[in-house]
Structure 1
Amino acid sequence: MAELDDWEREFDHTWANSAEHKEPSARARMLAARWKETPPDPAPFRADPGPAPRRTSWASTAMVIGCVAVVMIVIGWAQLRAAF
């Protein structure tokens, strides 16, 4: 290897990536040891979350009408205040 200063030698990624053997991380070693004794249960890649609570149509309609009524009242109040 050519003459490298300490900084370049410490962070020589091409040399590190060209290593023949790469040691697994500590977490990978821990999981491998744990799974030898008790393998994990099979699970889908992205499991579906539980069903969302379903609102009834009347509740959604009431919520929309209520929000519209509140906005109309606030706008009317602001216009009434601006008139005086």
Structure 2
Amino acid sequence: CKYCMVACPYSVRVISEEHGIVEKCRFCIEMVEKGEQPACVTTCMTRVRTFGDLSDPASEVSKKIGKYRAKTLRADLNTKPSLYYRKA
């Protein structure tokens, strides 16, 4: 019905042509479970993407969030997103 695509406040729902269903990014969970980084991180030519354990304050991603005062989108919705952005 695609209602979730319309309702998503982040506009990240897409139709998977392969599976014929609505999906969102899962950060290449299959790769992460093998200890690898998601494809978007390993292929980023500018190396600006960082992936890691947000619950570990010593992780690279946690340190960068603090250092650059990165923020989530739509914090007002209280959806507890795990994707952070920093200003350029």
Q: Tell me whether the two structures share a fold, i.e. TM-score over 0.5.
A: no
Structure ranking higher on relative contact order (CA contacts 8 Å, 6+ apart) = 2
- Relative to the length of structure 1, the TM-score reads 0.20
Larger CA Rg, structure 1 vs 2: 1
Q: Which has the higher strand share?
A: 2
